[in-house]
Amino acid sequence: MEDQQQEPNLETPQQLAEPQPAQQPSSMRSWTRDLLVSVLVSMFIILFLYQPVRVEGTSMLPMLQDQDRLFINKFAYSKLGAMVGGDIHRGDVVVFLYPHDHTKSYIKRVIALPGDQLRIDHGTVWVNGVALKEGYVPFKYLDDRSQPLMTIPDGEYFMMGDHRSISSDSRDFGPVDRNLIYGRAAFVYWPMDQAGVVH
């Protein structure tokens, strides 16, 4: 008579792979928590750091084209940003509320800072007695407008578009108050062939 040995009671691989009912609520809570954190981080970035905007118009050609999508850095010029070196510099491309209608936003380049002396002689911009070298303005976009010598008031900035012949800017509406400037152009993300850092 043969000895009958009892087979050990092993779980099959399929049984081992099956999720245990007790773990399902924990997994759902983890997924919900991750989703909530992602949404909160995204909201924080959009509200306080970066904001997507769309360019409307061609006054910043050739760098920015009509309907380009870009992120602007809102933190750079905030009160906290200013405390860590977020000053506005000549040459920055900034977004600001249009001085005569705060429901509209403009994007232009900072040409002169508070206290600077500025004049424009047949399209050539002079700041503090020195002609600016503006490599960002192609020859075909130059114009021959002139403006008499002026001193930029405290707390204000003189803005111009790179496409000088069609840009409505501080030559028309005057220097822009610091409180109206709310972001610096940071990165074009659409269209993909235009993607890159804004200089």
Beta strands in 48-197 (DSSP E): 50-54, 69-73, 93-98, 101-112, 117-121, 124-127, 130-131, 147-151, 156-160, 176-177, 181-190, 196-197
Predicted pLDDT of residue 13? 46
Q: Does residue 75 contact residue 144 with C-beta atoms inside 8 Å? A: no
> CATH assignment of 52-197, given 1.25.40.10, 2.60.40.10, 2.40.480.10, 2.10.109.10?
2.10.109.10
* Across 109-115, average pLDDT: 98
* Count of Cβ atoms closer than 10 Å to residue 52 Cβ: 12
Please state which of the ranges 7-16, 147-156, 185-194 shows the lowest mean pLDDT: 7-16
pLDDT at 130 over 90: yes
How high is the pLDDT of residue 28? 82
The answer to whether the beta carbons of residues 87 and 97 sit under 8 Å apart is no
The set of catalytic residues is 59, 108
Structure tokens at 150: 């002026």
User: Using one digit for the tens of pLDDT, what is the confidence trace for 41-89?
Assistant: 666 655 557 888 999 999 999 999 999 999 999 888 876 655 445 689 9
| Domains in the chain: boundaries | 52-197
Q: What was the pLDDT predicted at 29?
A: 82
Amino acid at 60: M
Say which residue, 77 or 123, is predicted with more confidence. Answer: 123
| Portion of the chain with pLDDT greater than 90, in percent | 63
Q: How confident is the model at residue 114 (pLDDT cuts 50, 70, 90)?
A: very high
pTM of the model: 0.75
